[in-house]
Amino acid sequence: MTGEIIAFAEQREGALKKSAREVVTTAAKLGKELGAGVVAVAFAEGAVEGAGGLGRCGATEVLLAQGNGSAACARALADLARERQARAVLLPASAAGKDIAPRVAALLEVPQASDCVRLSAAAGSIEAVRPVYGGKALWTVKSRASCFLATLRPNVFPADESLGAALEPVRLPAPAGTPATLATLKEVLAPQGGRRIEVTEADVIVAGGRGMKGPEHFALLERLAEALGGTVGASRAAVDAGWRPHAEQIGQTGKTVAPTLYVACGISGAIQHLAGMSSSRVIVAINKDPEAPIFKVADYGVVGDVLEVVPALTEEVKKAKAAG
Amino acid sequence: MNLVACVKRVPDTASPVRPGRDGRSIDLGGVSFVLNPYDEYAVEECLRLKEARGGQVTVLSAGGPDASKELRHCLAMGADRAVLVKDAALDRDARSTAALLAAALQRIPFDLLFFGRQAVDHDNAQVGLIVATLLGLPAVAEVSKVDVGTGAVTVRREAEGGIEVHEVPLPCVLTAQKGLNEPRYASLKGIMKAKKMQIEEMEVAAPDALLEVLRLEPPPPRPPGKMVGEGAAAAPTLVKLLRDEAKVL
Ligand SMILES: Cc1cc2nc3c(=O)[nH]c(=O)nc-3n(C[C@H](O)[C@H](O)[C@H](O)COP(=O)(O)OP(=O)(O)OC[C@H]3O[C@@H](n4cnc5c(N)ncnc54)[C@H](O)[C@@H]3O)c2cc1C
Ligand SMILES: Nc1ncnc2c1ncn2[C@@H]1O[C@H](COP(=O)(O)O)[C@@H](O)[C@H]1O
């Protein structure tokens, strides 16, 4: 069987994102089952730090391509997928990946499985598991086309750097022809509240809800997040009250996150909130109501007033970190 | 200005979700349907643009006859025209849905074509961008602000790393993110007016779905958690558990 697996290796400002290793590792595991090579592609004008290291995650080729904007990247990926008769094209379910993948689906006429949490190959065919209905159910899907296109939920698929050796990246020539009328990126404004780790990229999230009682108390969460090396998130109630920016909202109408540690502070655990965070690895809940639904998904629960528990927790974390 | 919003009928997010008897779709017992929340932002933005600059708002949905309820809701909000693309297929994937809508849109003029960021049933977040690509139109997804200029729109989109400002020539495709606006409630007058309005029906051919759903299952339950204790006094134990048991510190 011919055909390779194309893995989109996301970079920002010349540095690979963590998702690149996750996507390439997942592609390599599928490739092993299917006997397919893995072509990792990063889009950048200049060098990408660590790109060659994707060979360690199982890439058999690392390409550096040019693509200005999602439409151009999609076209380049689709062209490459055709040229290589790709069995699969994998991207992260990040802002960029979610913006590129459907355009690839349209160009290649293949279906896309969005935000997958598991991928496997058996008997020559790829299956994906993905949450639907806001995480209230899981779908197992496969493609009836010869190619499978999927975006992978960040932080869910492990990266493994022992699957191969570093490679020398190969630069692809700039695409020929003039692009169609496109959207032009004019500028990038700093996010509301300054530049910080995005919730979708954070390893630790300390999220606050209506139980925080007011915007001023989120400083407590900032301090705990800082001690844990994480970032602050919020429930919709906290966002709708104007306490926190939309970019921090977690849940069905906000971001979907899967950090290693999620600390829910004064959040009741409504089904639409759980939709965005229930695939976190470890969940801690702090709530004064012992009956709050958040305790049903929490690994560790503390019943109490967030305004008292959070500062105490911050002190203990600092002590533990200092002790090493 | 011709403004078009594509809208979908979806289960209310508070509805129970259980596997149905076929093991691939949900049990519809006890499920109530609503206009997809993101599509509400799309319709609201069209209405605001019409109010500010004049024009016509068309809402378009592909689905069974039931979808006329959500289309009527859009008419009650203030849309001028509603089109139902009759579709009996039960297993449409995003690509074949997009092909269906793109075919219908050949017959509906527009300057701005709006979608929701995603439909909260299958959470695909694909249809808007696929339609744009099929029609060869520029597109920006997940916009949280739209300013219309002459022959182009300036939009904001939240991405990782900051808020992107894009300029897009018309006609173009945008998908609505939460925060774009606060959708209005339908007025009593709007509801009465919508009752008398006609919903146009359209039939178009579309390719079959290529994504096969093998199973729909409830998510595995999370293992039962531990109640660590009460109040600030629980902090040392919690940190110990996070470090030694969960190994996340
Ligand atoms: C279509 C739709 C989409 C939605 N999307 C989202 C979404 O994306 N994200 C989201 O979060 N929600 C979403 N919601 C809203 C969701 O249903 C809930 O209303 C929301 O999550 C509640 O936020 P909360 O937990 O902060 O507030 P509440 O439900 O009011 O809970 C506050 C909690 O704080 C506790 N508390 C109060 N004081 C203290 C204290 N001093 N110390 C400790 N605990 C305290 C209370 O016991 C309570 O459990 C959506 C709803 C709909 C209909
Ligand atoms: N059957 C449909 N009819 C009309 N619009 C749809 C339909 N399905 C999806 N859409 C539109 O496409 C958006 C994204 O849907 P999805 O890609 O399925 O998450 C929705 O918010 C709607 O605007």
Assembly ipTM: 0.94
- Helices B127-135, A95-108: crossing angle, 10 deg rounding: 50
**Do residues A146 and A223 share a domain?**
no
Query: A-chain residues within 8 Å CB-CB of B167?
Result: 183-184, 186
Cα separation, B43 vs B116, in Å, equals: 9
Tell the CATH superfamily of the B2-202 domain: HUPs (3.40.50.620)
Each residue's pLDDT tens digit, B10-57: 999 989 899 999 999 999 999 999 999 999 999 999 999 999 999 999
Residue closest by Cα to atom 38 of ligand 1: A211
| Torsion sign, CA atoms A40, A42, A43, A48 | negative
CATH number of the domain within which A303 lies: 3.40.50.1220
Residue type, B208: D
**Do residues A218 and A92 share a domain?**
no
Cα separation, A281 vs A197, in Å, equals: 19
Q: What is the dihedral of CA B184, B189, B194, B196, to 10 degrees?
A: 180
| Residue B140 φ/ψ, nearest 5 degrees | -130, 130
Each residue's pLDDT tens digit, B55-65: 999 999 999 99
Q: In angstroms, what is the span from residue B148 Cα to ligand 2's centroid? A: 23
CATH number of the domain within which A42 lies: 3.40.50.620
Residue pointed to by tokens 């296109």: A149
Task: Please give the pLDDT value at position B127.
Answer: 98
**Do residues A161 and A296 share a domain?**
no
Q: In angstroms, what is the span from residue A309 Cα to ligand 1's centroid? A: 19
Cα separation, B22 vs B7, in Å, equals: 27
**Do residues A161 and A285 share a domain?**
no
**Do residues A217 and A97 share a domain?**
no
Regarding the beta carbon of B124 and ligand 2, being less than 6 Å apart is answered yes
Q: Please report whether residue A216 resides in a domain.
A: yes
Q: How far is CA A291 from CA A136, A176, A263, A268, A286, in A?
A: 21, 62, 17, 9, 12
**Do residues A116 and A224 share a domain?**
no
Cα separation, B84 vs B6, in Å, equals: 10
**Do residues A164 and A213 share a domain?**
no
Instruction: Provide the domain limits for residue A279.
Output: 204-322
| Contact yes or no for B132 and A103 at CB 8 A | yes
A144 touches chain B (CB under 8 A): yes
Closest to A148 measured CA to CA, from B95, B245, B174: B95
Q: Please report whether residue A197 resides in a domain.
A: no
Q: Please report whether residue A112 resides in a domain.
A: yes
pLDDT over 50 at A1, yes or no: no
- What average pLDDT does the segment A292-321 reach? 97
What are the start-end ranges of the E strands in chain A?
A: 5-8, 11-12, 15-16, 38-43, 61-65, 88-92, 112-116, 118-122, 125-132, 137-143, 148-152, 170-171, 184-189, 204-208, 231-234, 261-265, 282-287, 300-303
pLDDT over 80 at B181, yes or no: yes
**Do residues A295 and A160 share a domain?**
no
Each residue's pLDDT tens digit, A201-215: 899 999 999 999 999
- Please provide the average confidence, as pLDDT, over all residues in chain A: 94
Confidence category of residue A193, pLDDT binned at 50, 70, 90? low
